[in-house]
A and B are shown apart, each in its own frame.
Chain A
């Protein structure tokens, strides 16, 4: 039994009268892939944003590696080992693919106040960046400008940047959003290869992918986790079927 890497207790976030997160509790164990499913508007992205630090919860505690990080700013959480990939692709369009990933390596190293040495020849940045691109299978695009990538490739780049941070927890917000079938299958394979090596909190709509990847699955409805368990158990949970899966399965 591994200890929880991330422990969320009784989290509340309100936007005016709407409680987007409403007393939510959740944990991610070390090495597990924990999928988060739920209908649109259930508060999945809001939760991810609070875990990463972009949004500040109104109540509740977020603990990471046993440390309370509820009030830590996002850049500090990234340094502690939390990496987020965004639902809407977020990259540096004017940089090459390699520069995008090298920047993430540089951020992890934390030596940004160097004014003279040129990054274009810095092996300490380029080697780990190339490794991350290899893992994701984007090496052949390394010298392209990021803005020239296809949608699927951009999503891969997002993931490569997250990996280059050497995180202990990956927050993946719909990594397959907007992808075609082929690209989706490709991304599922990539995520499969990461499984076990990283602790992952995965928000995803593609049920095939979720059931293929997840060790555990939590169902989010109206800002709370109504069920958590193994994917098979979730699939057969009557409350879940009614709230969410019922319409599809």
Chain B
């Protein structure tokens, strides 16, 4: 007998439907001859990966991190800088000329983001609550100004990727190919996090968010688990950054401003913190509304802000809550 199988239909079917719907976007874009749609939704997918990564520590570990844009930026700059050296044939380290091969630069970018998450997380996680938020914010600003100061790589103006990025010789930068590559990565990330959340590690992490004192009393050194979760989350944020740089062909410190960290938190909260995949819904709504409103007004933040406020006030569990409610009414509210 399985214990309280909470795997309700929503939690299994929804991510499949979500990925399926996103897979149709390029077809629709071609049908209505609107290539902008693919660009928009590539952004949606890449930031979804970052939001899902953030929500792993936010929704399941109770850690409100405002440095995930910084980790995202490390991943993005990692790919861009390595490609920059490759293009200019300038050695970066020990005579190595860098690379535009994402199969090499991607893992390096991810490792750098994970390393930053390890070092900074080790310090941040000694605090909790609002102190944790403020310290992660400070680290985000440190990373931001670090890249602003790197004049060699464009500083404030950012860094254009002039070479062509490939994946072990495969051309992945064609718009539609790249779209499906990102979607595949998102699918893998969602499946991996869904497994982790139900694993021994995930149960420990969730327990630390609910009652850390109790967790320690039953014999678990909670800090280690929170740090490991933070590193995993940071690595996936770095992965999203690497894809971002590849897709945009350009990175700048603006990509890692703390406001982007805030956007990621909003995407997670908007979608729903209680599920692995819900931040994808949040990211989609956030970015689509942003694109829509900015067609009409330069003050697009105002209507978007109102939508977010209403969602959060009316549905405390985010849009996930709305889906659950609809489902409950279907069943005559059995729960």
Contact = CB atoms under 8 A, between A and B. Distances in A.
Given A90-B213, A104-B218, A143 B3 contact: yes
A114 B199 contact: yes
Contacts of B222: 75
A188 to B, nearest CB: 24
Given A120-B2, A120-B5, A111 B216 contact: no
B91 interface: no
B198 A119 contact: yes
Interface in B213-246: 213-222, 225, 228
Given A103-B204, A114-B201, A117-B200, A75 B211 contact: no
Interface stretch (A61-69, A91-99, A235-243): A91-99
A111 B200 CA distance: 8
B325 interface: no
B3 A142 contact: yes
A111 B2 CA distance: 21
A125 B218 CA distance: 15
A110 B221 CA distance: 10
Nearest to A77: B219
A108 interface: yes
Contacts of B203: 95, 99, 102-103, 106, 119
A73 B199 contact: no
Contacts of B221: 73, 75
B171 interface: no
B220 A112 contact: yes
A95 B204 contact: no
Contacts of A150: none
Contacts of A103: 203-204, 207, 215, 218
Nearest to A164: B218
A108 B219 contact: yes
Interface in B186-219: 195-196, 198-204, 206-207, 210-211, 213-219
Interface in B296-321: none
Nearest to B7: A120
Given A92-B214, A103-B218, A107-B218, A115 B195 contact: yes
Contacts of B3: 96, 98-99, 120, 126, 142-143
A102 B196 CA distance: 17
B4 interface: yes
Given A112-B225, A114-B200, A120-B2, A165 B218 contact: yes
Q: Is the interface of B mostly helix, strand, loop or mixed?
A: helix
A110 B219 CA distance: 8
Nearest to A113: B201
A133 B156 CA distance: 61
A15 interface: no
Contact of B211 (A91, A120, A122): A91
Contacts of A118: 195, 198-199
B4 A75 contact: no
B324 to A, nearest CB: 15
Contacts of A112: 200-201, 204, 220, 225
Contacts of B216: 54, 74-75, 78
Contact of A90 (B5, B198, B211): B211
B220 A91 contact: no
A97 B207 CA distance: 13
B219 A165 contact: yes
Contacts of A99: 3, 203
Contacts of A96: 3-4
Interface of B: 2-5, 195-196, 198-204, 206-207, 210-211, 213-222, 225, 228
17 contacts: A54-B217, A75-B220, A84-B217, A86-B217, A90-B211, A92-B210, A94-B210, A95-B210, A98-B4, A103-B215, A107-B219, A108-B218, A114-B199, A116-B196, A118-B199, A119-B198, A120-B198
Q: Which 6 A-B pairs have the closest CB atoms?
A: A78-B219, A143-B4, A107-B219, A107-B218, A114-B200, A118-B198
